[in-house]
Amino acid sequence: MDIAVLNNIRAIAFDLDGTLVDSAPDIHHALNVGLLDAGLDAVDLDTTRSWVGGGPDLLIRRALAHFGIADPDGRLQARLRQRFDDATLASPLSHGSVYDGIAEMIEGLYAPFPLAVVTNKPTHLARAVLGAAGLLPFISSVHGGDRTEHLKPSPALLLAAGQQLHVKPDQLLMVGDSSADLLAARAAGCPVVLVGWGYGAHALPDGIEPWHVGSPLQLLREMVSRFEEEDRAPVTSGRRKD
């Protein structure tokens, strides 16, 4: 990424699942709680992992399609979603984990940059996971996929994060693991980082050239180095402790 672009960054937005936390085992558990409750077979972790990224409603639709089940009135979808939410809130991160180096990265970036989370996971579930991960106190705002039309690759959540943090889109760095993150950043006008871990296929959409980082430590070092070289005062607008 061009140095001038990095020097302009005033805040950072992170994807959640596959970027900050390896939550696929928890998503897998919550999905199977609902499937078994509905008298269906459980699915394996690899299958669940391949479905992660579009929020729980899309996850459940993929599961129903996997079993060849039509749900014209949406009742089964609603039942599975309620079981999914209940299971997630009961144990937000009991099966998964925070990726190595993420806690140190978030704590290191928190001082110079206000941080947001932009995720297709519904906000109340995202906050529960962040709380269980010990990351929520460092996050100024959480923008979840509470409305279908706002899900990434829509730019809506990123634009909302920028407004909350009082930064322009080109001052907000998006960090994610999937093409949906890259496309949302492009639509919002935000610079973007593609991490070298997570669940995304890492195939680049045409016309997008993200900054690739191989580890949380690399991102921390580069961003803090840019901040120190520019000797910028930290932006504090919108920051709060939970």
Which residues make beta-bridge pairs with 174? 13, 192
C-alpha 69/C-alpha 116 separation (Å) is 37
Q: How far apart are the first and last CA of the chain?
A: 33
Query: What is 158-227 written as a DSSP string?
Result: HHHHHHHHT--GGGEEEEESSHHHHHHHHHHT--EEEESSSSS--PPPTT--PEEESSHHHHHHHHHHHH
Does 137 sit behind a cis peptide bond, omega within 30 degrees of 0 on the bond before it? no
**What are the CA-CA distances from residue 69 to residues 61, 65, 74 (Å)?**
9, 6, 11
Residue 160 exposed, middle or buried by CB count within 10 Å (0-12, 13-18, 19+): middle
Active site residues: 15
Give the pairing of strands 97-98 and 21-22. antiparallel
C-alpha 106/C-alpha 155 separation (Å) is 23
109 near 12, Cβ under 8 Å?
yes
